[in-house]
Amino acid sequence: MVPNKPGEADGSESVFDLGGRSRQTLELIADKWAVLILYALSRGTMRHNRLRREIGGISQKMLTKTLRRLERDGLVGREVYPVIPPRVEYSLTPLGETLIRILAELCVWAEEHIEEVETARRDYDAREGP
């Protein structure tokens, strides 16, 4: 539990402030596709098709849209090679790399605690009914 809202002590912005820049920054990575793309790129530079194969269930359109947003936000770099056909590779920027420890912990947590989450869901559903 956090004793104070972030930003309360020093007067800076808080992620709890509606429309605040801190909240907008948090929303950059609060998207499942962004988390998965960034985590996949933590393994190294990848081309579009490899990323799509790595991330089960993502459509080509959603991958492209999310990569463009992450590139705009400075988290992913895009390198276009002047060959025919064109070759494009994606990698984390230094700013994107600052997220990897946090995202790795989140992804590992999800993998380690899925059984407990599923048990809690079953217990809840049994109590609450359909």
CA distances from 24 to 16, 40, 57, 75, 92 (A): 10, 23, 26, 14, 20
Q: Return the pLDDT at 25.
A: 86
Q: Return the pLDDT at 23.
A: 87
Asked whether residue 7 is assigned to any structural domain, the reply reads no
Amino acid occupying residue 33 = W
Q: Average pLDDT of each block of 10 consecutive residues along the chain (130 residues)?
A: 52 82 86 94 96 95 96 96 92 96 92 95 87
Asked whether residue 12 is assigned to any structural domain, the reply reads no
Show Cβ contacts of residue 55 under 8 Å, excluding neighbours closer than 6 positions: 33, 36, 37, 40, 63
pTM of the predicted model as reported, rounded to 2 decimal places: 0.82
Q: Return the pLDDT at 6.
A: 54
Domain, as residue range, for 96:
21-128
CA distances from 101 to 5, 39, 42, 123 (A): 23, 9, 10, 32
Q: Return the pLDDT at 19.
A: 84
Q: Collapse the DSSP code of 79 into the 3-class scheme (helix H, G, I; strand E, B; otherwise coil) and give the result.
A: strand
Greatest C-alpha distance within the chain: 60
Domain count, the chain: 1
Token pair 């070759």 in the structure block, residue: 87
CATH number at residue 90: 1.10.10.10
Asked whether residue 90 is assigned to any structural domain, the reply reads yes
Provide the pairing of β-strand 87-92 with 46-47: antiparallel
Asked whether residue 11 is assigned to any structural domain, the reply reads no
Contact indicator for 93, 75 with CB cutoff of 8 Å = yes
